């Protein structure tokens, strides 16, 4: 699936592939998984911020010269889909300390694979903001679509949503694009496909379980 103006895959550099090699290893220690996953998350977030609109802003440097700079246009908000999306929030807060953060809780039924919305809490003025929607795994696209619909119901304009994924399956990308064509998507890797259990191939296992240590990493990777 090629990169388009609405679907962006990070350049598959040797550096990025080396980071993926560590975090995809089912025998990786949790400390290594967290450390190197955060490095990939930082690359993703920097690239996601680059997709937002900017205005020109000149500044005078300490030597009295003018630098033709840029500044972000508008207001920004991050909305993680908890729990896995929380893994991206700490990294983003280090980059933008004062960023507003909402929350959406969607859980996928392990049998039916259908998403269930349980909770949301969003800034009152979210309709005026650009939104980084943080959802590490885009598999079937069901949870992402449900989260986008929550944002739209709160008044967020579709074209102001940037969906940030650690990994994305072609099936999930197609589902989101069909339902919400104006949403921008960025991922560190577009995977080959989904397996019958709706896990991505070659994949990474259950990202949330591996990141937060709630399931043995090797077991999660074998699901």
Which of the residues are catalytic? 108, 112, 206, 209
Tell me how long the chain is: 223
- Alpha carbon distance, N-terminus to C-terminus of the chain: 25
125, two tokens: 């003025």
């Amino acid at each position: 699936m090629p990169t388009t103006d609405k679907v962006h895959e990070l350049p598959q550099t040797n550096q990025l592939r080396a980071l993926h090699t560590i975090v995809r290893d089912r025998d990786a220690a949790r400390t290594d998984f967290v450390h190197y996953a955060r490095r990939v998350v930082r690359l993703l977030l920097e690239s996601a911020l680059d997709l937002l609109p900017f205005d020109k802003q000149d500044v005078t440097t300490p030597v009295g010269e003018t630098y033709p700079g840029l500044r972000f246009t508008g207001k920004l908000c991050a909305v993680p889909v908890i729990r896995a999306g929380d893994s991206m929030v700490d990294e983003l807060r280090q980059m933008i300390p004062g960023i507003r953060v909402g929350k959406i809780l969607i859980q996928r039924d392990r049998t039916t694979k259908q998403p269930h919305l349980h909770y949301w809490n969003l800034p009152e003025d979210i309709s005026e903001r650009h939104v980084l929607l943080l959802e590490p795994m885009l598999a079937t696209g069901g949870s992402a679509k449900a989260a986008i619909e929550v944002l739209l119901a709160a008044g967020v304009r579709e074209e102001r949503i940037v969906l940030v994924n650690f990994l994305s399956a072609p099936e999930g990308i197609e589902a989101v694009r069909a339902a919400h064509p104006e949403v921008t998507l960025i991922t560190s890797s577009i995977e080959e496909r989904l397996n019958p259990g709706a896990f991505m191939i070659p994949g990474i296992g259950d990202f949330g379980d591996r990141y937060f240590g709630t399931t043995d990493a090797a077991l999660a990777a074998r699901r």
